Amino acid sequence: MWLLGRIFDGFGAPIFYWRIGNLKLGYVIIPVIATLINSWGDIQSILSMDMVQIFSLASFGVLTVVWYALKASKGNPGSLVVDENNKVITIDEYLKKVVSR
């Protein structure tokens, strides 16, 4: 599960920045480089697994992707953020707060 979390988390940052869409290349390059470094470690970990471990990892991965496609992708993904006070607010509220400073 730890390795699967690393894989999803590593690829999540560049996808998140891509979804925002209006960021400059300089803001996206660091997560992409970090993902490449993490991917190398993930690949090295997967290469040392036996078939049972690979099957377990693949099964959990498929279940996670299916769950996301069927249930979690509904609604407004990426529309909530956590502010400085650790409160969950919409990204529009957060941007208004940041701009008003």
Domain boundaries, the chain: 1-48, 51-101
**Distance between CA 12 and CA 29 in Å, rounded?**
14
* Distance from chain centroid for Cα 32: 12
Query: Tokens 């650790």 sit at which residue?
Result: 86
Round the average pLDDT of the chain to a whole number and report it: 78
**Distance between CA 85 and CA 78 in Å, rounded?**
19
For residue 95, give Cα distances in angstroms to 22, 71, 80, 87.
14, 28, 11, 14
pLDDT tens per residue across span 45-83: 888 889 998 898 889 889 988 887 787 666 666 777 888
Query: Tokens 């099957």 sit at which residue?
Result: 55
Facing residues of 81 across strands? 89
